[in-house]
Structure 1
Amino acid sequence: MVTSLYGQSSFVYQGKVVNESGESLIGAQLTFLVANKVLGISDINGEFYVETEELILRVKQMGYQDRTITSEDTLVVMREASSMLNTVVVSENKRSSELKKATVSLEIIHPNFIVNTAPTNLEESIGRINGVQVVDNQPTIRSGSGWSYGAGSRVQVLVDGVPMLSGDAGQPLWTFVPTEGIQGVEIIKGASSVIYGSSALNGVINIKTKNPSDKPFTQVTTSTGFYDLPKRRSLRYQGRTRNTVSNITAYHTGTYQGFGLTVGLNALRDESYKMSDYDNRLRGTLGLRKTVSKYNLIYGLNTTYQQGTSGSFLLWESYDLGYTALDSGGTDNQVNRLSIDPYIKWSTGKFKHTLNTRYLWINNDVDNGDPTIDQSNSSNLVYAEYQSSFSLPKNEFNATGGVVAINTETNSPLYSGTQRATNYAAYLQLEKGWNR
């Protein structure tokens, strides 16, 4: 579209920026072809409007190849950059930035890696990464600081920037993470306690989930297997029966009447290879997301519910009966977990604001065969974080700050009833780059 303004030609650029799947891209920059001066940015719907005398403009978006356009291009399709260095990460400083500008050792796990490993929980995939070990559900990075079981984690585990640690013992909830909806995992191999707290002294594992797609998409994955019989006959407590393990996941996403929707389901039945050791669980997730472009506003709600039963034993019968529980006994555990995560994001001028909240309820009903010892426990956790970020791309200056509030309540008869704790914190991080 061309108009005349005071005798000079003025071109109006108006259209929409999308990726190869047709999904809208937010924050794509329209700049001069030679200089990096930003003339306009695509809004929440991917739409842009720029009026300039330039014949050709450049469209830039982190993680995608640059495009040059004219005023006749109303639909700009961006292609993903093939270089890993252009990958967008958020874990280093709680804002979007390019991997090549990261100042810490950061590794990215793509969803294909998780799918190919066919894990029954994310812990199995994380443990395959170089420099990362998971022992008794506790992650350590590069043989970092030690830990005591039940005394909290020294690696912060996040889902979309919100901690996924239990309110009582501060343990990662690996089986509670919706693996069917993971977009990627970012691992910081080093201390990041400035903006993530003391739980990040050894590193950060940030799990990013998929945003709702514009077009409906459904995926179902199943796997099954069995445990082979031990060569030593004394270990075959089940005779010649081979115990099995079966897993099924389902995922659906789409946009309906302006609301983005994600639904996930996971069911596992694991008979294990040891007596009294089993794991049966069912997990469901639901995500709703709404975009209000008029106010540069995004709000939504994610919720996950899990229930399951599991069994285990501490001591085996003898050397010859290594897979048999002592006195054929064990501990049965019935677990119920629920998380509700409302969030809201909005922008005002050069500032971006985010409010993340979480309510996490966990109940463990433990039966150890001794009615005089009650090991059951429950916990409630309320988490809230407000964050604001300010950016001057031309001067390579960024500021990120926020406040965090955490309230926990645990109930365990073994440890004298109900315990309560409240924590408040604030953080601020300033960044300045020079011709990077």
Structure 2
Amino acid sequence: MMKKNIFCLLVIFLAVGESAVSQSLKITGIVKDAESQEGLFGATILFNGHGTISESNGFFKMEVDPGRYDLTISYVGYETFVQPFEVTDKDQFVDINLQPSSTVLDIATVTGSKYNRSVARSPVSINVIKSDLVANTNTVKINTLLDKIPGVQIVDNQAIIRGGSGWSYGAGSRVLLLIDDIPALQADAGRPSWGDIPVENISQMEVLKGASSTLYGSAAMNGIINIRTGYATSEPVTKAFTSYTHFMDPQDLNKKWWTSAPTRVSTGVVHKRKIGKLDLVANGFYENFDSYYEDAFDEKYRLSANLKYRISDKVSIGINSLYNKAKGADYFTWKNGGSGAYSGAESSYSTRSTSRFFFDPQITIYNRKNDRHKVLGRFYYIDNDNNLNQSNSSINTYLEYQYLTSLIDGKMDLASGLVSQFVESDSEVYGGELLYATNLGAFTQIDYKLSEDVSLTGGLRYEYNVQKSPEVIFGDSIPDGITSESKIISRIGINYAMSEGTFIRASWGQGYRYPTMAEKFVQTTASGFQIYPNLDLESETGWSSEIGIKQGMKFGTWLGYIDATLFWSQYENMMEFSAQSFDGTLGFQSVNVGGTDIKGFEVSVIGQSKIGQVPVNILCGYTYINPKYQEFIEGTIAHNSISTPVGETEKSNFLKYRSRHSFKTDIEGQYQNLTFGIAGIYNSEVVTMDALISNFAQIGLYREANPGGYFKLDSRVGYVINAFKVSFLVENILNDEYTARPGLLEAPRNISIRLDVEL
């Protein structure tokens, strides 16, 4: 009996000992961006197929038995990390730096979800432009680069996505501009200040097409343009450029007014470095533009600095700042469509002096569960001095709280937050009255991974808007001087990875836009036209939907994708500036023109290939739209104010200031130290416009004499010599004469030389 008990005890002892020897060990670590050293949320960590997901600040932990493994770490937008790894007899910590991926299907974007996800996995259409194209095309104002993206048009500094809006005379926008995820529209007028974008320090540019009000609020009704600036790198970097542009004679020499050619000189510099726990980015820009428009010019300088300090692995604080000072002169319309096309109508000529600055404080905190809490804000001050009694100043204070967490073992990502924005505007065009606006919002969005192939998106937003003015303004009264409105909007989407490289998506999202101060209260004169306020202007609502397929392609040396999309949008109470009669006098007023319906499709191809030993990047796309008024009968505002299409005798139901067809392409190659590229843009004719504008300054006559659309062809070539790059660019090679909007002729052929240096 004793021997039997001893034997049992020995068996138990050996079993316990074996268990102790083979006990799992704890592996912890962090996954970071190799350049910015930021932790990456949602990276996949695998030890021979067994794994976990990194938490909000990039940290991960798991238990692994001792032995030899293949450690694999992957993350959207980055090269996959694979390395043999041995788990020994003690706990271990690993520090992994992932390199950004050059694969076009795996580019990461934050715009559609508040966190990184690949463009292929998004339920909506997103285009991403990397920083190299900014430098290679000598972009000194980002709106010119946006014009290369399929489905996007820039008309008189206004962004239009898939025909969702037309030319709006500089007031109101259905496309929201973000700089580092913070709204950057001039709040009282709802228009972008493109000069505030630091082209010398852009990391990438993301364009989301379709209703995005759920995450970003009122102005994102038709889409989003998100400019992500560059960050400090582990090694100090200094980049600088200078460029000179010479504008040549127009095709019709009768339109040439100058004896000395118009020119533009631009220069920019950026310095990035890490100093211990401090990240520093400082940059500056200067431009002097002696315009091809008679007596017009633009001179500006811009200074910017971004600071970020890591208090600990869990807490970081930062502040971004920008100061922009400019002076210039321009005009609203030309003198006439003949010899005065590059000269301005005397009544529309204006001089201006502008000062703008903002600073963006922010703090990011990760709790014990590694959920992310982020508070970001912006104080934005604008002062515009104008000689036409149109001077204005405004203060915009923006504050946002974001909460991001991962649930259900990483299958669900939740982003939610609170938003507040307060605007104070003092403008001569608002009757010299002080106006106030308040916007409050709350949002939540869930991205759920139903399976390895299917992901679902759903979101809600509550928005509350208030405008405050004097109780009596422009001879009319507003009870207590206050108008207010609240709205709940939603979005849903699905992405299905049908097979390797094939992604099908569908989405539907509501849009909402509250009238800006400029649309509701503006009273001024432009080119002899009276602009009237409309205190009864109502908000517009609508929805945008799409179904698309993104097909990755790899054959031979070609690697890329083709994307095809069908889209459909409807708006109710759409706001447009339209010609109206006031006591027998014609003028313009922002009015609700009723419902609209926009259908269309888009096909784009983006990829990389090799021709012999020459790598080639390709971006091209075609967009077709058919935008109509839901009610277009005689006597309606839409029918009464619209022009008759060129060559036709009856009015056509086609929304104003839009082109039916658009085709764009950009092809860039590199052979050893030589880079070269060619780009083309075709837009068909603007079908309809305001009849009142058509009869002014020979605009209608010019359209009849120059029917059809336009084709613009550009080229570029560059050569790298050590740390230097010299580029030579030609825009509008064919010297085509065209207008993007009525009454304003675009630039003739021009040539540029640019020098870049990186230290």
- 1:397 alignment partner in structure 2: 412
More off after superposition, 14-23 vs 335-344: 14-23
Contact 1:276–1:329 (CA<8 Å) still a contact in 2?
Answer: no
Q: Aligned-pair distance for 1:66?
A: 3.3
More off after superposition, 122-131 vs 413-422: 413-422
Q: Aligned-pair distance for 1:75?
A: 5.8
- 1:371 alignment partner in structure 2: none
More off after superposition, 78-87 vs 359-368: 78-87
Q: Aligned-pair distance for 1:132?
A: 0.1
- 1:303 alignment partner in structure 2: 321
- What do you get for the CA RMSD once the two structures are aligned? 2.7
Cα offsets for 1:202-254 (capped at 9, x unmatched): 11111111121121100001111111134655434332x11211111111100
Q: 1:302 to 1:5 in 2, by over 3 A?
A: farther
- 1:172 alignment partner in structure 2: 192
Contact 1:32–1:54 (CA<8 Å) still a contact in 2?
Answer: no
Structure 2 residue aligned with 1:6, among 17, 20, 34?
20
- 1:139 alignment partner in structure 2: 159
* Equivalences for residues 326-405 of structure 1 within 5 A: 326=345, 330-348=349-367, 349-368=369-388, 374-392=389-407, 394=409, 396-405=411-420
1:265 correspondence with 2:284 = yes
Cα offsets for 1:298-329 (capped at 9, x unmatched): 21000000001111123544533332344598
- TM-score, structure 1 as length reference: 0.88
Q: Aligned-pair distance for 1:286?
A: 0.4
Listed as ranges, the gaps of 5+ residues in structure 2 are: 1-17, 88-92, 454-759
Q: Aligned-pair distance for 1:185?
A: 1.0
Contact 2:326–2:353 (CA<8 Å) still a contact in 1?
Answer: yes
1:424 correspondence with 2:451 = no
- 2:212 alignment partner in structure 1: 192
- 2:143 alignment partner in structure 1: 123
Paired AA for residue 421 in structure 2: I
Contact 1:158–1:205 (CA<8 Å) still a contact in 2?
Answer: yes
- 1:312 alignment partner in structure 2: 330
Contact 1:147–1:154 (CA<8 Å) still a contact in 2?
Answer: no
Q: 1:298 to 1:356 in 2, by over 3 A?
A: same
Paired AA for residue 96 in structure 1: N
SS at match of 1:215: coil
Q: Distance in 2 between matches of 1:114 and 1:331?
A: 30
Structure 2 residue aligned with 1:242, among 256, 261, 278?
261
Q: 1:111 to 1:323 in 2, by over 3 A?
A: same
- 1:407 alignment partner in structure 2: 422
SS at match of 2:342: coil
Cα offsets for 1:245-276 (capped at 9, x unmatched): 11111111001242100011111111011211
Contact 2:179–2:229 (CA<8 Å) still a contact in 1?
Answer: yes
SS at match of 1:119: coil
Q: Distance in 2 between matches of 1:332 and 1:178?
A: 24
1:32 correspondence with 2:47 = yes
- 1:60 alignment partner in structure 2: 74
SS at match of 1:37: strand
Q: Distance in 1 between matches of 2:94 and 2:217?
A: 45
Contact 2:140–2:266 (CA<8 Å) still a contact in 1?
Answer: yes
Q: Distance in 2 between matches of 1:251 and 1:309?
A: 23
Contact 1:315–1:325 (CA<8 Å) still a contact in 2?
Answer: yes
Paired AA for residue 189 in structure 2: A
1:157 correspondence with 2:177 = yes
Q: 1:68 to 1:172 in 2, by over 3 A?
A: same
- 2:228 alignment partner in structure 1: 208
Q: 1:162 to 1:21 in 2, by over 3 A?
A: closer
Paired AA for residue 52 in structure 1: V
Q: Distance in 1 between matches of 2:36 and 2:148?
A: 34
Paired AA for residue 209 in structure 2: K
More off after superposition, 98-107 vs 317-326: 317-326
Paired AA for residue 58 in structure 1: T
Cα offsets for 1:124-154 (capped at 9, x unmatched): 0011111100112111111114463344210
Contact 2:273–2:281 (CA<8 Å) still a contact in 1?
Answer: yes
Q: Aligned-pair distance for 1:25?
A: 4.7
Cα offsets for 1:137-193 (capped at 9, x unmatched): 111111114463344210111111100100220101111111111111111111111
1:148 correspondence with 2:168 = yes
- 2:242 alignment partner in structure 1: 222
Contact 1:404–1:426 (CA<8 Å) still a contact in 2?
Answer: yes
Paired AA for residue 433 in structure 1: K
Q: Distance in 1 between matches of 2:174 and 2:360?
A: 23
Q: Aligned-pair distance for 1:23?
A: 4.3
Paired AA for residue 210 in structure 1: G
Cα offsets for 1:95-130 (capped at 9, x unmatched): 222222211111111111222121121000011111
Q: Distance in 1 between matches of 2:251 and 2:447?
A: 60
Q: Aligned-pair distance for 1:333?
A: 0.5
Structure 2 residue aligned with 1:279, among 292, 298, 303?
298
Between the two proteins, what is the percent identity of the paired residues?
Answer: 28
Contact 2:309–2:317 (CA<8 Å) still a contact in 1?
Answer: yes
Contact 1:226–1:243 (CA<8 Å) still a contact in 2?
Answer: yes
Q: Aligned-pair distance for 1:94?
A: 1.4
Q: How many aligned residue pairs are there?
A: 423
Paired AA for residue 380 in structure 1: I
Q: Distance in 1 between matches of 2:407 and 2:98?
A: 24
Contact 2:277–2:311 (CA<8 Å) still a contact in 1?
Answer: no
Q: Aligned-pair distance for 1:60?
A: 3.0
Q: Distance in 2 between matches of 1:292 and 1:376?
A: 43
* Equivalences for residues 87-106 of structure 1 within 5 A: 87-106=107-126
Paired AA for residue 150 in structure 2: N
Q: Distance in 2 between matches of 1:399 and 1:182?
A: 28
